[in-house]
Amino acid sequence: MKHPIGQTRNGMSVYVDLISSPSAKRIAQHPQYLVLAKEMLAQIKVRGAEAVIEHDMGRLIGYDFVVTTTDKDTVFYGRLIKDTIYTRFTKNGKPLSTNHLTVKLRQVGTKNYELSDIWIGHSNPPRPGSDNETTESKVYWSNHAFVLDGQPIESQTITKICPY
């Protein structure tokens, strides 16, 4: 189901697939993301086949659950339910309030973009082991982690040993 969100400052229409995109689950849990995305899109210009855009909304909009970790933090790895790659978690981190909204857009046609993902917080490289892993992924995720906040983790995959 393709749902129109809005237009960018340079006239590109943006929609989201509310059924099968990675953003669908996030939007289902946080419907206000659509309102934030529409506001953000009206302020930005988009070019290129794919774009990851981090935008300062100018006010606090929520919490960033990816935090910097040190040797003093308790970290572990596990796979989220229905996920094939490991995620790094910290038990004792605290989410940080943020003004930033990040979106991933993919061009479809000449004047349309699909919102493929959205989250509150800063942009970060893909997790190691993902299809779109970059050279920055392992370095970044070696000292950053998601704050454990009730995410559904496959218990048999939990480990303190880095899987990547």
The pLDDT score that the predictor gives to residue 3 is 94
Q: Are the CB atoms for 101 and 36 separated by under 8 Å?
A: yes
**Where does the pLDDT of residue 136 fall: very low under 50, low under 70, confident under 90, or very high at 90 and above?**
very high
Q: What is the pLDDT of residues 28-77, one digit of tens each?
A: 989 999 999 999 999 999 999 999 999 999 999 999 999 999 999 999 99
The pLDDT score that the predictor gives to residue 35 is 97
Does the pLDDT at position 95 exceed 90?
A: yes
Q: What is the token pair recorded at 146?
A: 């998601």
